[in-house]
Amino acid sequence: MSSGKTVAIIGGGIAGLSAAVFLAERNFRVTIFEYSPKPGGRAYSFYDREKEQFFDNGQHILAGWYKNTFDYLKITGSYSKLNFQKQLEINFISKEKKVYRLKFPDLKPPLNVLTGLLKFGALGLRDKKAVLNIRKLLNVNDLKGNFEDALQLLREIEQTDNLIKYFWEPFIFAVFNTVPEKVSAEIFLNVIRKGFNANENSVLVIPAVNLNELLINDALSYLGKNGAEIRLNTGVRQIGFREDLKKAEYVLFEDGNRISADYIISAVPFFAFRKLFDEKTYEHLGYKSDRIKSSCIVSVHLFFHDKINESMLADNSFGMTGLTGTNVQWIFRRNDRHLSLVISNADATGITDMSNEEIFNMCVTDLKSTLNEFTESMISDYKVLKEKRATFIPDRESAEYRPGQITDTANFFIAGDWTDTKLPSTIEGAVLSARICVNKIIETENLN
């Protein structure tokens, strides 16, 4: 059924693209206006002329609970480009070069989580006793009290330092890109309960292709076939509202042109949202997006002269290894001569301010202390990528600053990973926010 109604989407990141795909599926007339010359926002690949290959702006991992993302990829035809683990399985290497394997067995939750951790070699007897308390996090009725942050929650259920170091910190860095004390207890519990409530939800999912091939190219061809348009290099300067703010009337572009649409969706990041409003309107509508704090991710690509020895990395079937006690948290084997390293929370530790050479040297030190047989002379070249505003910090205050997707202005919606989904800054948060906007538009048009 077609509504024939027009929708203007500001921003062509994953939130904007997925909103467009869900709307195009229902025959809305959609146009995305994207400021930059490329779609994808914070999840994209770029072509490196020197290396003659595409690189992702940073390794992206998905998880079994990314249901909205999977729906998006099923519509665009990219779902088969994902690799799913059968069970959660990660190998960690410590600074003493010890390998610890974490594997959830094929049991019902919470037995899978508890048994997996009870067999996790990094933990001693005292830590294992504390593992049993994790049940309290999974059961909604078991935790009474008002908790500020994830660390407070972990202390409440008596998680030991070891358990935090070897299990909770790697998990929290990977999902929230910050330290446990900066993760709101509410968002932490939401993710734990989504991720650990079924075996299939806890598994890691890795793109088998680059980010453009997974998230963008197929979406663009789907949109093209369904009459939607994406205009690149088209920055929006402002959204114009009716005097009483009950209707969004037009979109004003940087070049001074303007268009009107039946519906307008903002899908810009938190750090660009404020600029879409004049000061009075921003204040009247009560937005506080400018108070949200961001966190950086540094990615380092290492290229090897020769094939990387199988025995050097204790990686799993995905070619993924966790490091503990080091600045580098994750290593991904991209091919037999190329590793990609991930450093989360990089601004808080001052790494963002280091030169590329200093970062490279720091990585070499980390790899020497963890990997058997590794020497610097094995490396032929390296590339450092800093994404300064990779994610927002999902602290307790951020709950106040994240607006809902549905606003008091009937035809104006807000999508983006930073809107109030109770999820951290993730692809799934971006797609979920888009879906909420689209569902409301469909409901308004009585298309259900």
Ligand X SMILES: Cc1cc2nc3c(=O)[nH]c(=O)nc-3n(C[C@H](O)[C@H](O)[C@H](O)COP(=O)(O)OP(=O)(O)OC[C@H]3O[C@@H](n4cnc5c(N)ncnc54)[C@H](O)[C@@H]3O)c2cc1C
What residues make contact with ligand X under the rule CB under 6 A?
Answer: 10-16, 33-36, 41-43, 57-58, 60-61, 235-236, 267-269, 272, 297, 299, 387, 390-391, 416-417, 425-428, 430
For residue 337, the minimal CB distance to ligand X (Å) is 22
Walk across the sheet containing 99-103 and list its strands.
99-103, 89-93, 320-323, 330-335, 338-343, 294-304, 379-392
Cβ count near 64 (within 10 Å): 19
Instruction: Sort 123 into a burial class: Cβ within 10 Å, 0-12 / 13-18 / 19+.
Output: buried
Tell me the CB-side half-sphere exposure of residue 376, using CA atoms within 13 A. Answer: 7
Residue pair 385/259 in contact (Cβ under 8 Å)? The answer is: no
Nearer to ligand X, 232 or 399 (CB): 232
φ, ψ for residue 133 (rounded to 5)? -70, -15
**Identity of residue 146:** N
Nearer to ligand X, 167 or 176 (CB): 176
Nearer to ligand X, 409 or 419 (CB): 419
For residue 223, the minimal CB distance to ligand X (Å) is 15
Nearer to ligand X, 255 or 408 (CB): 255
Nearer to ligand X, 42 or 435 (CB): 42
For residue 155, the minimal CB distance to ligand X (Å) is 27
For residue 392, the minimal CB distance to ligand X (Å) is 9
For residue 98, the minimal CB distance to ligand X (Å) is 26
Nearest to residue 85, comparing CAs of 315, 297, 391, 307?
Answer: 315
Nearer to ligand X, 272 or 379 (CB): 272
For residue 301, the minimal CB distance to ligand X (Å) is 12
Nearest to residue 300, comparing CAs of 387, 219, 234, 421?
Answer: 387
For 138, the token pair is 């999974």
Instruction: Quickly list H helices, 285-326.
Output: none
Handedness of CA 358, 359, 361, 366 (dihedral sign): positive
Nearer to ligand X, 236 or 359 (CB): 236
Residue pair 223/20 in contact (Cβ under 8 Å)? The answer is: yes
For residue 57, the minimal CB distance to ligand X (Å) is 6
